[in-house]
């Protein structure tokens, strides 16, 4: 596999070997979602201001994106800014906006060179024009890339997503375009902002919290959880590998019993 150099470094032989072993051991999740948490606490524990943690978190984003692409993950969704994050002190919100613009500006070329497609989900119209324009430009440039999708959840919340899908469906019912009976699980999924991707196979949450925090509420129905105490700015690929190894050891029954899963596997 081709070497990705998102942070300007070349992949070490040892790292390639670890990735090869992971691929041989089991399935690589197609879609990984991440709740990047603990930036503020990371900064505070070092006597710094919260935004320092967000800045440090960018390096974790870089390493995670790079390692996921190298491993063969097809979709990586990062919870970068929740709807609720708008209620943070204005100074922190402004600093996060600036960081977002800077990061997108500095990383787009490398994402493009590495065949990674940038997308975004959420109430993007709530962002300042500068942010929206930078994002739109990066999305447009990388539109045709197919190695991996990097999806940023921005001003996103799971309840908002379900609400906007419900509205769209209700309008169709009201106009007589579909009957109430046509409203199924599948139909709802196709009206969510994630309609073009599979549900996440694995979700990672950093900083040891056991919450979904209004992330992909509908889409996480059968997603495997991996929670680590590590604060996001300290999260690196070794921890990602641990999460994937843990995922590979899980039996995904999707509501069935173990014997059904085993017999299905043997029929393949
Ligand atoms: C949660 O930590 C993190 C965020 C709200 C922002 C995440 C943003 C980044 C990692 C920076 C850039 C990202 C991209 C994709 C360009 P927290 O502030 O809630 O930490 P705390 O729980 O310790 O207070």
Annotation says 39 is catalytic? no
Q: What is the number of the ligand 1 atom nearest to the C-alpha of 41?
A: 23
Structural domain boundaries of the chain?
Answer: 28-158+200-250
| In the predicted structure, residue 264 carries a pLDDT above the cut 80 | no
The predicted structure's pLDDT at residue 9: 61
Confidence of residue 258 (pLDDT cuts 50, 70, 90): confident
Distances (CA, A) of 24 to 2, 21, 28, 42, 214: 18, 5, 9, 35, 34
DSSP three-state, residue 82: strand
Give the 3-state secondary structure of residue 226: strand
Residue 45 pLDDT greater than 60, yes or no: yes
Q: What number is the average pLDDT over the span 196-217?
A: 98
What's the token pair of residue 110?
Answer: 């490398």
Identify the pLDDT of residue 58.
98
Q: In the predicted model, what is the mean pLDDT of the chain? A: 94
Question: What residues flank ligand 1, with Cβ below 6 Å?
Answer: 36-41, 54, 57-58, 61, 78, 80, 85, 99-100, 103, 152, 207, 232
Number of other CB atoms surrounding residue 187 within 10 Å? 13
Residues contacting residue 216 through CB under 8 Å, at least 6 positions apart:
33, 77, 153, 158, 161, 194, 199, 200, 203, 223
For residue 256, what pLDDT band results from cuts at 50, 70 and 90? confident
The fraction of the chain above a pLDDT of 70, given in percent, is 94
Under 8 Å between Cβ of 114 and 6:
yes
Q: Binning pLDDT at 50, 70 and 90, where does residue 1 land?
A: very low
- Take residue 101 and report the two structure tokens written for it: 């613009």
Q: What is the pTM of this model?
A: 0.92
- Nearest ligand 1 atom, CA 79: 7
Instruction: Compute the CA torsion angle 71, 72, 75, 76 (nearest 10 deg).
Output: 10
Instruction: Using most ligand atoms within 8 A of CB, pick from 33, 34, 35, 39 the residue to mutate for ligand 1.
Output: 39
199 among known catalytic residues: no
Q: Is the predicted pLDDT of residue 4 greater than 60, yes or no?
A: no
pLDDT at 8: 59
Q: Is the pLDDT of residue 207 over 50?
A: yes
Which tens digits make up the pLDDT trace of 123-141?
A: 999 999 999 999 999 999 9
Nearest CA to ligand 1 atom 15: 80
Residue nearest to atom 3 of ligand 1 (CA): 37
Q: What is the pLDDT of residues 13-34, one digit of tens each?
A: 899 999 999 999 999 999 999 9
The DSSP result for 142-211, as a single string, is HTT--SEEEEEEEEE-HHHHHHHHHHHHHHHHHTTSS-GGG--HHHHHHHSTTTTSPPPSEEEE-TT---
Q: Where are the alpha helices (DSSP H) in the chain?
A: 13-25, 39-45, 50-71, 90-113, 129-142, 158-174, 185-191, 237-248, 258-267
* Stronger pLDDT, 10 or 221, i.e. the higher one: 221
pLDDT at residue 54 greater than cutoff 80: yes
pLDDT for residue 5: 58
Question: What CATH number was assigned to the domain covering residues 28-158+200-250?
Answer: 3.40.1180.10
Average pLDDT score over residue span 215-233: 98
């Amino acid at each position: 596999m081709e070497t990705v150099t998102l942070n300007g470094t070349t992949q070490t032989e040892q790292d390639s070997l670890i990735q090869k072993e992971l691929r041989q051991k089991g399935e690589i999740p197609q879609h990984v979602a991440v709740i990047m948490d603990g930036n503020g606490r990371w900064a505070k524990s070092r006597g710094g201001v919260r935004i320092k943690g967000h800045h440090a978190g960018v390096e974790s984003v870089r390493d995670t994106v790079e390692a996921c692409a190298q491993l063969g993950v097809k979709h990586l969704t990062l919870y970068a800014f929740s709807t609720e994050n708008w209620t943070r002190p204005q100074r922190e919100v402004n600093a996060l906006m600036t960081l977002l613009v800077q990061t997108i500006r500095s990383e787009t070329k490398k994402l493009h060179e590495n065949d990674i497609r940038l997308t975004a989900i959420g109430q993007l119209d709530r962002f300042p024009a500068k942010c929206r324009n930078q994002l739109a430009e990066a999305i447009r440039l990388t539109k045709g890339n197919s190695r991996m999708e990097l999806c940023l959840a921005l001003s996103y919340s799971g309840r908002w997503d379900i609400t906007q899908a419900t509205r769209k469906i209700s309008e169709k019912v009201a106009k007589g375009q579909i009957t109430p009976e046509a409203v199924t699980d599948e139909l709802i999924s196709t009206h969510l902002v994630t309609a073009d991707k599979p549900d996440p196979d694995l979700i990672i949450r950093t900083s040891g919290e056991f919450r979904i925090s209004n992330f992909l509420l509908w889409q996480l129905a059968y997603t495997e959880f991996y929670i680590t105490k590590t604060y996001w700015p300290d999260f690196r690929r070794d921890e990602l590998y641990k999460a994937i190894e843990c995922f590979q050891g899980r039996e995904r029954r999707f509501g069935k019993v173990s014997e059904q899963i085993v017999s299905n596997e043997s029929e393949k």
